[in-house]
Amino acid sequence: MGYKVAVLAIVAVVCILLMFFHSQAERLVDSYRPATDVPSFALPYDWAGNICQTPIAEPSGITFHTIRKTIFVVSDEGELHEMRTDGRPVRSNSLNQTDLEGITMNPSTGMLYIVVEGDDAILEISPLTFEIKRRFGINRGFEGRELLKKGGMGLEAIAFIPDDSHPEGGTFWVGNQSFSLKPDREPSIVCQVAVPLSSADPTPPEGKIISFFPLSIIDISGLAYDSSRHCLVVVSDTTNLLVEVTRDGTVLRQHLLPGNDQEGIALDQEGFMYIAQENGEVIKIEDRRVQ
């Protein structure tokens, strides 16, 4: 009897292992599926290298502050760091928050905005004091459909695009992380979100999704707005891709990115890119396309 039980146990373990490897194989197929019919080219750049003078624990987002002319980096550990464009540290502090994944800024006010994964919320932060001023929830639905799945992978990236015609002076664009392109899985999408920034209510209303578009790449890990090309720049960590896309979802160009574990991207006003990597580095490169 003991022998039969042992055999059955071994068979059960083998079956579980086979199911695990099959699921991993499916995920790998999804991971390396071509992003679109647009060909991928190596990004023409000059390598400046890692500028971080003090390692950052698991950077998860990065943005260039157009007023202060500095870089802000947020980490998975809930820390916020400010540094100069050559990497010299300015200030660091803990926000006593978890699952902070992306950061952007509003150029008209200078305020920072950090997206919280899982909660699907946006924190408003003072760049001077690092104080959390307000917290905006995001309604997960759009036209009767739940776009942002509760308990899913969650929001991973954020960018603010100024728009003088919009009552709030612009809108946020957030990337929902997904590791599969199958129709029954969590969608890999970028959503446009209107947030009531002008609200005087200490507990402001939720932000609302007003449009979205799907992407045929997985693992959206970073977003930025390229004002010179009038497009969103989307980073996919798993596929090491940088995709330039219009606000209606049309893919313009895509490039292979240097480095690994890219968690965020920022563009300054002099043609440099800054890539936050999960290993604690911030890679600076010069985009030769702007010369």
How would you label 113-134 residue by residue, b for 16+ Cβ within 10 Å and e otherwise? Answer: bbbbbebbbbbbbebeebebeb
The string of pLDDT tens digits covering residues 163-186 is 999 999 999 999 987 666 666 667
222 in Cβ contact with 276 (< 8 Å): yes
Place of tokens 């979205």: 212
CA distances from 27 to 182, 185, 190 (A): 10, 11, 21
Pairing of strands 272-277, 220-226: unpaired
Secondary structure letter of residue 204 according to DSSP = P
132 in Cβ contact with 125 (< 8 Å): yes
Q: Count each helix (H run) and each strand (E run) in the chain, helices first.
A: 1, 23
Pairing of strands 79-83, 70-75: antiparallel
Within the chain, which residues score under 70 in pLDDT? 1-37, 151-154, 178-185, 290-291
pLDDT at 43: 79
273 in Cβ contact with 35 (< 8 Å): no
Read off the pTM: 0.83
Nearest one of 99, 79, 207 to 155, comparing CA atoms: 99
pLDDT at 19: 46
Adjacent-strand bridge partners of 281? none
pLDDT at 290: 65
How would you label 62-91 residue by residue, b for 16+ Cβ within 10 Å and e otherwise? Answer: bbbbeeeebbbbbbbebbbbbbebebeeee
203 in Cβ contact with 219 (< 8 Å): no
Query: CB neighbours (10 Å) of residue 151?
Result: 7
Q: Is the dihedral of CA 100, 105, 110, 113 positive or negative?
A: negative
First vs last C-alpha separation in the chain: 77
pLDDT at 183: 66
The string of pLDDT tens digits covering residues 21-73 is 344 434 433 433 444 567 777 777 888 899 998 889 889 999 999 999 999 99
